Amino acid sequence: MNAAGLAALLRADLHGVGEVPAGRPRHPAEAEAGDVAVAMDRDLLPLLADGAARVAVVHRDAVEAVPTGAVDAILAVGRPRLAMARLTGAFAARPAVAPGVHPSAVIEDGAMLGDGVAVGPFVHVGAGAAIGDRSVLCSHVSVGAGARIGADGLIHAGARIGAGCTLGAHVIVHHNASIGADGFSFVTPEKGSVDSAKETGRVEATNASLVRIHSLGAVTLGDHVEVGGCACIDRGTLGDTVVGDHTKIDDLVLIGHNVRVGSHCMLCGQVGIAGSAVVGDRVVLAGQVGVADHVTIGDDAVVAAGGGVGTSLKGRAVYAGTPAVEREQAFETIMMLRRLKGLFREVRTLKGAVRALQGGDPGSA
C-alpha cells in the first residue's frame, strides 16, 4: 500500500507524494519508518516533525498546521473516528487459524462445515451443528449440538455456543463468551420473599424452596452481531432470547433469558439486562447500566453510564441515574444536591428571622 492507495481507501484528500509506502498506522511518537502516523488530534501535529513516519493522517482543518517538511504525504480526512475505522480496517489481520480442521478438533457425526471453514485446535462441534462458509473457529471453541453459525463468522478462543443456538452471518464472538447458558429462573412453590417485597415492600414470606424453571429455548443472534469477552447471553424459557442485526455487545455484558434486543444497539461493558426485558433498535446502554426484568426501552434511547433502569423508558431521549430519569432531570438533581448545604443554612437563618418577627429569641433557633 502507498499513500495514494490509502487515501482512496480512506476517501481522504492527498497532499504530497502518492508513491510513498504507507504501512501500519501508529501514534506519531511510536511510528517507525514505513508506518503511517495518525495525528487527527491537533495536539499531535508537532510530533510529526521528529517522527520517522513519512505519511500522516490529519484532520482536514489541520493540514496547514503540519510542520513543513515533516512528512512526504498528508492524508486529510473529515470525521476522524470514521477515518480510524477505515484505516484500522485496512490493516486488520484475521486470527492465524489454518484453513481446514485441525487434527485435534472433534467434529461429531452429522455436523456440517461450509466451504473454507477454519477450525483450530481443541474445537468441539456437536452433532448436527452447521458452520457457515469461511467461518473461523479459534482454539478451544465449543459448538453445541444443532447450533448454527452463519457465513464469515469469527469465534474466538474458548467461546461457548450452546446447543440449538443460531448465529447470523458475520458474527464475531470474543474470548470465553457464553451464548446459551440456561436462564436464571426459579420459583417458590408458595409465595416467597420476592413476591411479598413486590406486593407490600416487606418480607412477609420465606423462600422455603426454589424450583427451577428450565430453559427450553435457545439464543438467536442476527447478522453482524459482535459479542465481547466473557459476555453471557442466556437461553429463553420457551422461545429464544433474541439479539437483532448489527448490535454490538461489549465484554462482561449479561443478557438474561427471554430478552429481546433490537438492531444496531450498543451495549457497553458490564451492562446487565434482566429477564424478559425488551430493548428497541439503536439503543445505547453505556457501561455498567442495569435494566430490570420485563421493562421496555424505546428506539434510539441512550442511558448514561451506571444508570439503573427500573421502569420502561420512551425512545429518542437520554437517561441517567438510578432510578434512571431523563438526563436533564438527573443533572438538575445533582446540581441541587450540590446546593443543598446552602439550603439547610438558609432555612436555619429563616427560622431565626421568623422567630424574631414573632417576638422570640432568634438565637435559640
Binding-site member from 5, 17, 133, 288 for its own copies (CB under 8 A): 288
52 near its own copies, rule: CB under 8 A: no
**Cβ-based nearer residue to its own copies, 27 or 60:** 27
Site residues for its own copies, 1-30, by CB under 8 A, read: 24-27, 30
**How would you classify residue 159: left for phi > 0, otherwise alpha for psi between -120 and 50, otherwise beta?**
beta
Binding-site member from 16, 23, 51, 120 for its own copies (CB under 8 A): 120
Site residues for its own copies, 85-114, by CB under 8 A, read: 85-86, 88-89, 91-92, 95-96, 102, 104, 106
Cβ 132 to its own copies, closest distance in Å? 19
Q: Segment contacting its own copies (CB under 8 A): 1-9, 45-53, 64-72, 121-129?
A: 121-129
Site residues for its own copies, 345-364, by CB under 8 A, read: 346-347, 350-351, 353-354, 357-358
Interface mask toward its own copies for 206-225; x: CB under 8 A: xxxxxxxxxxx---------
280 near its own copies, rule: CB under 8 A: no
Cβ 72 to its own copies, closest distance in Å? 20
237 near its own copies, rule: CB under 8 A: yes
Interface mask toward its own copies for 157-196; x: CB under 8 A: xx-x-xx--------x-xxx-x-xxx-x-xx-x---xx--
